[in-house]
Amino acid sequence: MKITTLEALLIDELKDIYSAENQMIKILPKLAQSAESDDLRQAFEEHLGETRRHAERIEQICEQLDTETTNKKCVGMEGIVDESNGIMRTIEPDLMDVALIGVAQRMEHYEIAAYGTARAHARQLGLITIANLLNRTLEEEKKADQRLTDLAENRINVQAAMRQGTLVM
């Protein structure tokens, strides 16, 4: 079925985001379990709670729009999740946390793009309450991404480089 209105496009995007969030709810515990760093494990565990709230917000938004959250699979997130499963099977323990941060940031960047787009469409449609909910989640996704960046740049990547004797100052 062709999407012919901006509201229909927004609804399609929301369904895609909902699928992405639910895929993350399934993969984040695996990422946490694979993490060597307690700080990284804690970041994944905390983000799991946030991700559950994000999915609940999408349900709330879809209810306001009188639509269901089902019938869409986010193939973009599915690809990133498949990649993360491969990483957990093939990366050496010394590099596991570095690789996990990379894949988690790809997930976050995907979500940041999706939430930013949906927010813009909601604003254009005059759906300010919905735009504000989407913006709240967008800001939380940006904070999660920044936390991963800080962990990588200030600890995880440095420790991996030191173990491998490739630390550059």
- Quote the pLDDT of residue 8: 96
Q: Which residue has the tokens 């254009």?
A: 124
In a domain, 17, yes or no: yes
pLDDT average per 10 residues of sequence, the chain (169 residues): 95 97 97 95 97 98 93 94 91 91 97 98 98 98 97 89 68
CATH, residue 89: 1.20.1260.10
Distance CA 34, CA 93 (A): 9
- Quote the pLDDT of residue 169: 58
- Quote the pLDDT of residue 136: 98
Q: Give the residue numbers spanning the domain of 37.
A: 6-164
Consecutive H or E run containing 8: helix 6-34
In a domain, 46, yes or no: yes
Query: pLDDT digit string (tens) for 130-158?
Result: 999 999 999 999 999 999 999 999 999 88
In a domain, 1, yes or no: no
- Quote the pLDDT of residue 103: 96
Distance CA 4, CA 158 (A): 50
Distance CA 48, CA 46 (A): 5
- Quote the pLDDT of residue 159: 84
Q: How many domains does the chain have?
A: 1
In a domain, 169, yes or no: no
In a domain, 147, yes or no: yes
Residue 25 tokens read as 């709810």
